[in-house]
Amino acid sequence: MPTKPVITVRPPPAADPVALAHFVDKTEPQERQEGDNHQGVRTSRRKGVKTPKTVVTRTDGRVMKRLTVWIPNDLAVRLSVQCAGEQRDVSSALAEAAETWLKGR
């Protein structure tokens, strides 16, 4: 009796999320520049220049450095809710608070 052939289902290849968004929005994709990532952040890396991975230049031109901060959970929730209500990012609110605190010293 002949044996049945084995069928293997392969998943499709991963798609570029930016290309998918342009397809759904029916817009023309823009050329991605070297160093761009999906969060609208351009890394500060240039040929021959070594910078820490935690320093990035945002698309609006701000140069930012990653810093881990531990704050009480209830404060983090209130801060996130307030920033969402004002349509601003938590980073800018914390930077403003730090500037105000440092000026008072």
Please report, rounded to a whole number, the percentage of residues in the chain having pLDDT higher than 90.
30
Decide: 40 and 59 in contact? Cβ < 8 Å: yes
Q: Which residue has the tokens 């008072």?
A: 104
Q: Is the pLDDT of residue 88 over 60?
A: yes
pLDDT band at 38 (very low <50, low <70, confident <90, very high): very low
pTM > 0.75: yes or no: no
Structure-token match 């996130």, residue found:
80
pLDDT, the chain, mean: 79
Q: Which residues contact 57 (CB under 8 A, 6 or more apart)?
A: 41, 42, 43, 44, 63, 64
For the chain, list the domains and their CATH numbers. 34-66 (no CATH), 67-105 (1.10.1220)
Residue scoring higher pLDDT (86 or 26):
86
